[in-house]
Amino acid sequence: MKVERNIRIDAPPQRVYDVVMDPGRLKDWVTIHDHLEDAPSGSLKQGSKLTQSLRLAGRKFKVRWTVVENDPCKRVVWEGHGPVGSHARVMYEFGDSSNHESTDFHYTNWAASPAMAWRVSLKKSWNTRCRNSKPLPNNRYSSIKWLIFLTRNAGKSTRA
């Protein structure tokens, strides 16, 4: 899964960079931030590690981040590992098209988990087996049919 956002921030790139690299400020701008488990004091640098507790859809989970690239006021990349083998890569880019008056901030987040890949694979198998039948509506009944399919076909090859 990939999410990208662009925004112009009315602050110079140095100020935006300072906020992004201050773990104590994550609560001010990361909407799913819950708290920090551990983090270095002061600004993050290349190689810095921190553990962040996030809350999404009412559920808490932890991500262990490492700053893998740090080109101050230009580009920063964090890589993270979370629950059940999930991983993420976040890139922050700081553009300056206004002579240090504002920042053209570009955010990219790539996230993946083995569970997501497993589900996509199973859905593909389901669609292959049912290609001649009408698609089920996306409701509780289709979830039950999906569960029946999985339990009946556990351990069987689902290749097309």
Show me where the domains of the chain are located.
2-112, 115-152
Task: Count Cα neighbours of 101 within 13 Å in the Cβ-side half-sphere.
Answer: 3
DSSP 51: E
Per-residue pLDDT at 85? 87
User: Which tokens belong to 124?
Assistant: 């593909």
Q: What's the confidence (pLDDT) of residue 115? A: 56
pLDDT at 133: 45
Rounded distance between C-alpha atoms, residue 36 and residue 151, angstroms: 40
For residue 33, count other CB atoms closer than 10 A to its CB.
Answer: 15
Class of domain 2-112: alpha beta
Per-10-residue mean pLDDT, the chain, length 160: 90 92 92 94 96 92 97 97 92 89 92 59 46 43 39 42
**132 token code pair:** 């001649």
- Specify the pLDDT at position 159: 42
Can you give the pLDDT at residue 90? Answer: 95
Give the pLDDT confidence score for residue 154 in this predicted structure.
Answer: 42
| pTM value surpassing 0.85 | no
For residue 22, what are its two tokens? 């201050």
pLDDT at 101: 87
